[in-house]
């Protein structure tokens, strides 16, 4: 199984007045390039979050968004300092009595006095937040993996089709080269015979020239290596068990080797028909090269 570097995953967890959302988006990149956007209250969790993500992703440009929401009652509470309020009320009554004033004390009056009310900020519950953040991130990574696996399956099917086409073109070339060599020998024999006319054709010389031509146009070794690289390519795709296996670099190396054999085959092609098939091989290899840039 292969994994695409393109995918998206989202996880959300709510508990104890907190809601944490994690969204992870990845696209292809040669190396792991991670950008995490965290609320100020969660900045301290950045190293742990990076470590968790690296366990699942080895390559790709990775954008991570973290959202934190809290209940209003969770974030702040207004409390009445009743002992202070009672002291204010008692002092006002004493003042009214001593000065022989009307006792018209109202709650609104006491409420405006200093330190009667105070706002208490609840400190974040770090243990709860860490647990929720881990759960949300794990869920986002799970969904991301599913998306990358689905895209990877499409890639694998497409790559297998292209490799099959390469094998077909290679098989045609392998079958056609001996026929072309024999045709060349016959033409060479006829050409020599037309020159020497009544003289006997030197079969030894003819065989030597034919052998030289056959050697120059022989692509047996190139085609064997090409098919060997295709086998290795398919085996590598099958061996990938998880995203962290990171087979993209190995596939890139194999495609370079395949391209080298295709170039040599093209340079040795003795006629236009074989050259056309060699060009088709190079075309499919280039398409594969573009596709594997998106493989983990």
Residues 83 and 187 in one domain: no
Query: Tens of pLDDT along 17-27?
Result: 889 999 999 99
Residues 136 and 202 in one domain: no
Terminal CA-to-CA distance of the chain, rounded, Å?
11
Residues 192 and 67 in one domain: no
Residues 139 and 186 in one domain: no
Residues 135 and 234 in one domain: no
Query: Tens of pLDDT along 44-97?
Result: 999 999 999 999 888 889 999 999 988 755 555 677 888 888 888 888 888 888
Residues 195 and 243 in one domain: yes
Residues 85 and 66 in one domain: no
Between 290 and 123, where is the model more confident? 290
CATH assignment of the domain containing 180: 1.20.140
Residues 97 and 141 in one domain: no
In a domain, 206, yes or no: yes
Residues 162 and 211 in one domain: yes
| Tokens at 27, concatenated | 């696209």
Residues 188 and 88 in one domain: no
What total number of domains does the chain contain? 3
Please, what's the b/e burial string for 123-137 (b: 16 or more CB within 10 A of its CB; e: otherwise)? eebeeebbbbbbbbb
CATH assignment of the domain containing 30: 3.30.230.40
In eight-state DSSP terms, residue 116 is: S
Q: Which domain holds residue 114?
A: 73-121
Between 240 and 134, where is the model more confident? 134
In a domain, 192, yes or no: yes
In this model, does residue 232 exceed pLDDT 50?
yes
8 Å CB contact between 5 and 148: yes
Strands, E, within the chain: which ranges? 7-15, 18-27, 32-37, 60-70, 76-80, 117-121
Residues 202 and 165 in one domain: yes
């Amino acid at each position: 199984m292969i994994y695409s570097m393109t995918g998206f995953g989202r996880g959300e967890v709510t508990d104890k007045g907190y809601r944490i959302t994690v969204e992870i988006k990845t696209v292809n990149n040669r190396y792991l390039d991670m950008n995490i956007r965290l609320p100020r209250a969660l900045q301290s969790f950045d190293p742990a979050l990076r470590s968790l993500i690296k366990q699942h992703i080895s390559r790709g440009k990775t954008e991570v968004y973290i959202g934190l929401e809290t209940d209003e009652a969770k974030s702040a509470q207004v409390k009445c300092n009743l002992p202070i309020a009672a002291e204010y009320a008692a002092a006002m009554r004493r003042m009214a009595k001593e000065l022989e004033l009307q006792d018209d004390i109202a709650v609104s009056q006491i409420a405006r006095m200093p330190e009667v009310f105070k706002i208490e900020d609840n400190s974040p519950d770090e243990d709860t937040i860490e647990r929720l953040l881990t759960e949300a991130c794990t869920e986002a990574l799970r969904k991301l993996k599913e998306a990358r696996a689905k895209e990877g399956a499409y890639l694998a099917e497409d790559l297998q089709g292209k490799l099959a086409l390469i094998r077909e073109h290679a098989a045609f070339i392998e079958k056609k080269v001996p026929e072309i060599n024999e045709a060349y020998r016959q033409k060479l024999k006829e050409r020599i015979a037309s020159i020497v006319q009544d003289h006997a054709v030197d079969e030894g010389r003819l065989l030597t020239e034919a052998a030289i031509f056959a050697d120059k146009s022989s692509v047996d070794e190139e085609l064997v290596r090409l098919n060997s690289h295709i086998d290795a390519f398919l085996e590598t795709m099958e061996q990938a068990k998880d995203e962290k296996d990171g087979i993209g670099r190995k596939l890139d190396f194999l495609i370079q080797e395949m391209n080298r054999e295709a170039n040599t085959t093209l340079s040795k092609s003795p006629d236009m028909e074989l050259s056309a098939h060699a060009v088709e091989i190079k075309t499919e290899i280039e398409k594969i090269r573009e596709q594997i840039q998106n493989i983990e």
